[in-house]
Structure 1
C-alpha cells in the first residue's frame, strides 16, 4: 500500500492558491490542525497539573477532570477526539492556558472568567469519556442556566452559576443530578445521538446532506457568539431549510466549494457580533472564523440560501489559509495596518490583506459558476453582479500583493496561483453593465478610503 504524503508540496500550495485542493491536501490541513490541538491540550493538562494555585476543592476537581480526559483519550482515542478536535474546544483551551499562566487573571472580571473556563474542563472531559464508553462519576457546574456537554447536548438547570451537578455515566447512558431537582437520564441511540424524555434536555441540531454531519451549535458556551440561549425550534428549522437549499448551490459553485464542506465541523448561529474572530460583514448578514476554532463558521441568519452558500465559501477559505500558514510560512510581513482593501474601510495588515484577496477570489469563482448554472433571470443577474464586484476588488489590489518583497518562496507559489486563477475568471465575462458598475464601485471605495486616511497611500 502506498504511504500517503505527510507534507505539502509546491503543487499542493499552488492548488490551494487557486482556491482548489484535493481531498488529500485538505486532509493534510486537517491533520495539521489536529496535531496542533493535541499539543495545545497537552500544554493545558500540564498547566492544570503544575499550576501554582492554592490547594482546594476547585484545584482538586480540575485535576480529576484532567485525569478523566486523559483516560478517555487513552481508552478510545478516536471516540474521545470527537470532542478534543471539536472546533469550539480550541478557543476554550487557549483561554485556559492563558488563565493558568503565572500572573494571569489580574484584570477586573478575569477571575470569574477563568473559573468558568477551567470548570468547563469537566464538561469537556465528561463528553469525551461518554463518547469513549467509560463508566465514571464526576462533578460539573451550572453556567447560564444549563450544564453543557459539548457535542452531546445540554441540560437546563435553573440554578445560580457555579451550582454543582453530579454526573454518573455508564455504557450508553448518563444520569445528571442537580440539587433540589429530579435526576435526568440521557441515553444514546444506535446512531450515536444522546436523547432523553426529560424536557430539560436540549439536543444539538445536526445538519445533514453534506460530506459529513455538521452541528448547528447554539448550546456550547464557547463565548464567541454572544448567545443568551438556544435557538427556538422555528429558528432551527429555518437554518435547516437554508442549509438544504445551500448545498446544491455550493455544488453549482464548483467541486472545490462542495469538497471544502468536509472541513466544516459546526455552524454557530450569531445573535450579536462575534468576539475574537475575523468578521465579514455584508449588507444582509455577517459571518466570521477564528484561527483557533478550525472548522467552525459563525454566522448571523442569512436571508437566502445563496447568501449562506457564499458565506460558507468565503469563511472556509479563511480556514484553509489559517491551516496552511500553520504548516508553511507564506510571508515575513509584520502586523502594521498598511494596506488598502476595497472590501474593508480600515487599513489592513499584510496577513489580513492576503486573507481578503484569497476569500474574494473564491467568491468571484463561486458567483461566476452560479451565474452560469442558474435559470432564474433575477438570481442569475445577482450572481453576475456579485462575481463582477469580487473580481474587480481582487483586480485592484493584486499587483500590490504580487509585488510584495515579503513573500517567501512558498508564498510566491501561492500568490502566483492566485493571479493565475484570477486571470482564468475573466472568461466568461459578466454582462458589460456589471463590469462597469463593479469598476465604479471599487474606485469609489478607493476614493473614500483615501479621504478617511489622508496620510496614507493606497498600498
Structure 2
C-alpha cells in the first residue's frame, strides 16, 4: 500500500465516503500541485525563446509575479484564495503548454499571459495592497478572478486600488469606483461592474462558495465539447436569486444522504460554474433538462445548469464531487494499469468508455444509488418517495451492470483492488433496503434495453 494514502482513507473513499481529515489529504495535495504548476509557468516563461515569450511580455510577467509576492507577504491566505481558485487550474495548464510548445506567441498565448495581471491584481486587492495596472479584456469582460468583472469593449481597463476603493478607467467609457468590503466582496452602483455571487457556507464553519459566471476560464471550461454538456452561461439578477434560493435548501437535503455528504461538499466545493440548459429531455430521467460536469484541472469546481429542485441540486453535488474525489485520489495513487481504449459499456453513456471512465462513472453512480436510497427511506411525500426509489433503482442497476467488469480486471493495482472491493461492499449493502418491485423491474428493463441499443450502435456483441 502506498504511504501517500493510508489504508483506512482508501477504504473510506472506496465506500464513497470520507471525513474532513481524509478529504483534507486530497485538498492539500491538490493545492500543492497548484503551487508547483504556477512555479512551472514562471520557469517556462523564463526559459522560453523570445519568439514564444517576447521580452515585453516577460517583463510584464515578472512585474505580475512581484505583485503576487508582495500581496502574499501582506496576506498569504488572501492570495492563496485566488491561486487555489479552481478556474486558475485550466488557465495555468494551458499557459504552461503554450510556453513549452515552441510555437511563436499568438493571440491565445498573449491572452493567457495577460491573465496573470488579473490574478495578481485580484490577489493584491484581497490582501489590501495598493496597485495600478492595466487589464486586458476577453470576450468583452475584464476579470478579477474570485471577485468580479468589468464590462468593457476591446480596449484595456486601468485599475488603481488604494484603501478600500478601486477605480476602474475603461478606454471606451468614463471611470467608476468599486468598494471593497470587510467580507472581501466588491460592489458598485455602476452596472458595468459584475460581482461574483457568493453562496453562503453550506455548513457551519465552512467557506462560502462562489457562483462564478464571469471568469474567462470558467467560460472555456463550460464551452469544451462534452457529452450532453452545454456552454457556460451568464446569470441575470433573477437567476442569481434562484440559484441562491436552491442553494439555501441544500444543507438538510445533503444530511439526508449522511454527514459524509455534507462534509465532502463543505471541504471540496469551492466554485459553481453555471451552465445553460441543454436542449431536449433531461439526462438520466430527470424531469427538467439538466447537465453537469467536473474537470480534473479545475479541482473544487462543479459545472452545472441550475437543477430544477433543491433535491436534484443535492444529487448533482453528490454525483460530481465523487469525480472530484476520485480524480484527486488518482493523482496520489495508481488504481489500474488499463490503457485509454474506449471499449466498455456504461449504461449511463451511449458511447464506449475507457476503463478509467467506467470506474469514474460506477463510483459516482454508486454514491447516487446510496443517496437516493437514503432519501427514499426518509421521504414523507408519496411523490418524493417514488421519485427517489426510481432514481435509486436505476443507479443501482447501472452500477451492477459494470461492477463485474471492474472486479474482474487483472489491471487493478493493490490500491485499485481495495477501492473496488469497498465499492462492492456498498453495492451489496444496498440490498438491505430493496426498492419496490415495480421500480426495480423498470430499472432492470432500462439497463437491458440500453445495452442492446449500445451494442447495435457501437458494433459490440459482448463486453
TM-score (norm: length of structure 2): 0.91
Structure 1 residue 456: Cα displacement = 4.8
Instruction: For residues 14-33 of structure 1, give each alpha carbon's deviation from its aligned partner in whole angstroms, at most 9, with x where no partner exists.
Output: 11010111110011110010
Q: 1:255 to 1:99 in 2, by over 3 A?
A: same
Aligned pair partner of 1:290 in 286, 295, 302: 295
Structure 1 residue 115: Cα displacement = 1.9
Q: Which residue is 1:366 aligned to? A: 371
Q: Which residue is 2:14 aligned to? A: 17
Q: Which residue is 1:169 aligned to? A: 161
Q: Which has the larger displacement, 254-263 or 30-39? A: 254-263
Aligned pair partner of 2:45 in 45, 48, 60: 48
Q: Which has the larger displacement, 53-62 or 319-328? A: 53-62
Q: 1:305 to 1:443 in 2, by over 3 A?
A: same
Tell me if the contact between 1:48 and 1:63 (Cα under 8 Å) persists in the aligned partners: no
Q: Which has the larger displacement, 220-229 or 383-392? A: 220-229
CA-atom RMSD, angstroms? 2.0
2:190 is equivalent to residue 193 of structure 1 = no
Paired residues for 1:221-370 under 5 Å:
221-222=216-217, 223-226=220-223, 230-262=234-266, 263-271=268-276, 283=286, 284-370=289-375
Instruction: For residues 169-199 of structure 1, give each alpha carbon's deviation from its aligned partner in whole angstroms, at most 9, with x where no partner exists.
Output: 2343322222243222222212221222333
Paired residues for 1:401-420 under 5 Å:
401-420=406-425
Structure 1 residue 49: Cα displacement = 2.7
Q: Which has the larger displacement, 388-397 or 163-172? A: 163-172
SS at match of 1:440: helix
Work out the CA distance in 2 between the residues paired with 1:385 and 1:245. Answer: 22
Gaps of 5+ in 1: 1-5, 274-279
Aligned pair partner of 1:133 in 128, 132, 135: 128
SS at match of 2:93: helix
Q: 1:454 to 1:230 in 2, by over 3 A?
A: closer
User: Which consecutive segments of 4 or more residues in structure 1 shift more than 6 A?
Assistant: none
Tell me if the contact between 2:199 and 2:210 (Cα under 8 Å) persists in the aligned partners: yes
Gaps of 5+ in 2: 224-230
Structure 1 residue 229: Cα displacement = 6.3
Q: 1:93 to 1:389 in 2, by over 3 A?
A: same
SS at match of 2:222: coil
Q: Which residue is 1:71 aligned to? A: 70
2:150 is equivalent to residue 155 of structure 1 = yes
SS at match of 1:334: coil
Structure 1 residue 138: Cα displacement = 1.6
Work out the CA distance in 1 between the residues paired with 2:158 and 2:60. Answer: 12
Q: Which residue is 2:59 aligned to? A: 60
2:387 is equivalent to residue 382 of structure 1 = yes
Work out the CA distance in 2 between the residues paired with 1:14 and 1:290. Answer: 24
Structure 1 residue 281: Cα displacement = 7.2
Structure 1 residue 315: Cα displacement = 0.2
Tell me if the contact between 1:270 and 1:299 (Cα under 8 Å) persists in the aligned partners: yes
Tell me if the contact between 1:209 and 1:247 (Cα under 8 Å) persists in the aligned partners: no
Q: Which residue is 2:198 aligned to? A: 206
Q: 1:425 to 1:104 in 2, by over 3 A?
A: farther
Q: Which residue is 1:3 aligned to? A: none
Aligned pair partner of 1:220 in 208, 215, 239: 215
Instruction: For residues 70-114 of structure 1, give each alpha carbon's deviation from its aligned partner in whole angstroms, at most 9, with x where no partner exists.
Output: 3323442211000000010000110111111142369xxxx2222
Aligned pair partner of 2:450 in 445, 449, 458: 445
